[in-house]
Chains A and B, each alone.
Chain A
Amino acid sequence: MAVLVYADHDGVNVKDSTNKAVSAALAISSDVHVLVAGSVAPAKSAASIDGVSKVLVAKSDALSKDIAEAVEALVTPLMANYDAVLFVAGAAGKNAAPRIAAKLDVAIISDIIEVTGPKSFVRPIYAGNALESVESSDGKLIITVRTTAFKAEGNGGAASIEEIVAPNATHSATFVSEAMVKSDRPELQGAKRVVSGGRALGSEEEFNAVIVPLADRLGAAVGASRAAVDAGYAPNDYQVGQTGKVVAPELYVAVGISGAIQHLAGMKDSKTIVAINKDPDAPIFQIADFGLVADYKTAVPEFQNSL
């Protein structure tokens, strides 16, 4: 039977993470459909993803705000036609997917990084310090995908698009407001380069004066360690780690980050890791491809000038 991918989109186009979730779905079944919920516009880009045979679109305001109860009301009945549904393991997917699993009385399979069989998966536990191989005994699989672990499918396809009706959710939370960070920089999760700052920066002003210009110079997204976020130097949305975002860019530059386990969990799969820290014993150096033991105050401007 077919499997469904719940599209991650910005209201206009599907995000690259959707192409990656499709890649995970294709490892489970050759018949992959994509569900675009909220707005209609992204359906076109969803239909172009290689390997997708059909796109379903459901328009609704609650869905465009990722209200979990609305997503559950839409997806749960659709599962009569599908063996599995895959969500991108971001805030929206993590919010809704377990709800659907509970409604169907099946397990949630969170954050998969590998598909090893039709019902077998690998997922990180303990902040990525161990990998768990699991096999499901359920008839329906509800999955969230750590998309950094999968390659993105291309955009050479032309699937059919079908509009469906979004049911109304009962007992639902209602949307009040949102405050989204607007930025011209690449989005942290899909960025090819990331520059992150840690506790050593010491203040929000210093973070903005050091990390942000280097990120702009490299065309990189800005990240932060939990310590920097907790101290108020950077917004939580920048947080890379077990409790924040998991990234795997081509280049990850860690400035003034010691490398706590929980931070490493969020970035250790980056292709090239650069660490700048004045403490030669900082654990970050144990995983860095290029380490520079120096005070960031002099090293970062020098590095920037050498680019």
Chain B
Amino acid sequence: MKILVPVKRVIDYNVKVRVKADQTGVDLANVKMSMNPFCEIAVEEAVRLVEKGVATEVVVVSIGVTQAQETIRTALAMGADRGILLTSDQDLEPLNIAKLLKAVIAEEKPDMVLMGKQAIDGDNNATGQMLAALLDWPQATFASEINIDGGKAKVTREVDGGLQTLEVALPAIVTVDLRLNEPRFASLPNIMKAKKKPIDIKDAASMGVEVKNHLNVTKVTEPPKREAGIKVESAAELAAKLKEAGVI
């Protein structure tokens, strides 16, 4: 079984995001970039499925600037077998990414796509669902447990109010949630080994996919600031202040 894992290069989750003064976006200059944390969980799960003997090959794909090679290398160091990078300087919407991934899937023919439920930059939570729709594949989003057996995946999902378990016939799209696993740190020998693993780099424009953004970003602004209030000295004072303010 072959698993395709799309990965995204985003601002590192520990970095404080700054909005540009001209309101055209957020400042990406000289900022630490990393693999989207949800993508890391997807890579980890795919590698574990290989280690368990359920899957045989893990292919990671990224779409973006040439530096996204580093993100692919990180996945290769975690244990993925090879990478594909579709280069593009454009900021692509989820629908465009889904269309490009569909073109990759036509070439690679994976049995399952494992991917993060959302990227922590755009926070859309959409690409997996859109890809499933374009392919007419079943989807199981927000996975916290995945069991594969007999050409089917049984997926436990994090939903409002608890957990839901679905069964999807493969090929299918599974998007992963936080609790699925804890991604490993790549060991030094594996980082060295990853340098020799192949990455196929091609221009996204060569995929024969019409890429068109549907949303025009008119401005990006800072959210309204919330001011710190007062410090109270004791729990009793806290209760008194809340009563005074009419909160309780």
Interface of B is mostly: mixed
Among B13, B161, B239, contact of A303 (Cβ-Cβ < 8 Å): B239
Q: How far is B238's CA from A124's CA once the two chains are assembled, in angstroms?
A: 32
**B215, A134: Cβ atoms under 8 Å?**
yes
Q: Once the chains are docked, how many angstroms separate the CA of A230 from the CA of B178?
A: 8
B126 touches A176 (CB 8 A): no
Q: Identify the closest chain B residue to A132 (Cβ).
A: B220
Which of B53-61, B63-71, B105-113, B228-236 is the interface stretch? B228-236
Question: Is B215's CB under 8 angstroms from A126's CB?
Answer: no
Q: A131-B221, A137-B215, A262-B13 are in contact. Are A181 and B161 (CB under 8 A)?
A: yes
Interface residues on B, range: 35 or more
Query: Taking A133-B219, A287-B226 as contacts, is the C-beta distance between A226 and B178 under 8 angstroms?
Result: yes
A218 touches B238 (CB 8 A): no
Q: A107-B214, A124-B223 are in contact. Are A290 and B11 (CB under 8 A)?
A: no
Q: Is the CB of A173 within 8 A of B139?
A: yes
| B221, A133: Cβ atoms closer than 8 Å | yes
> Across the interface, which residues of B come within 8 angstroms of A126, CB to CB?
11, 17, 26, 120-121, 123
B238 near A306: Cβ-Cβ < 8 Å: yes
Q: How far is the CA of A179 from the CA of B159 in the complex (A)?
A: 10
Cα distance A291–B94 when bound, in Å?
Answer: 40
CB pair A178 B214 closer than 8 Å: no
A250 within 8 Å of B by Cβ? yes
Residues of B within 8 A of A110 (CB): 123-126
Looking at the complex, which one of B218, B222, B245 makes contact with A120 (CB distance below 8 Å)?
Answer: B218
Contact flags B128-161 to A (C-beta < 8 A → 1, else 0): 1111111011111110100000000010011111
Per the CB 8 Å criterion, the residue count for chain A at the interface is 94
Tell which of B78-86, B165-173, B188-196 binds the partner. Answer: B165-173
User: Is the Cβ of A291 less than 8 Å from the Cβ of B228?
Assistant: yes
What is the CA–CA distance of A71 and B136 in the complex, to the nearest angstrom? 14
Q: Chain A residues near B220 (CB, 8 Å)?
A: 125, 130-133
- Residue pair A124, B229 in contact (C-beta under 8 Å): no
Chain A residues within 8 Å of B231, by CB: 285, 290-293
Whether A299 pairs with B235 at a CB distance below 8 angstroms is yes
The answer to whether B238 touches A130 (Cβ under 8 A) is no
A-B contact pairs, 17 of them (CB 8 A): A69-B138, A92-B160, A101-B133, A102-B129, A103-B133, A108-B95, A110-B124, A130-B221, A131-B221, A134-B218, A177-B165, A179-B164, A292-B235, A293-B231, A299-B238, A302-B235, A305-B235
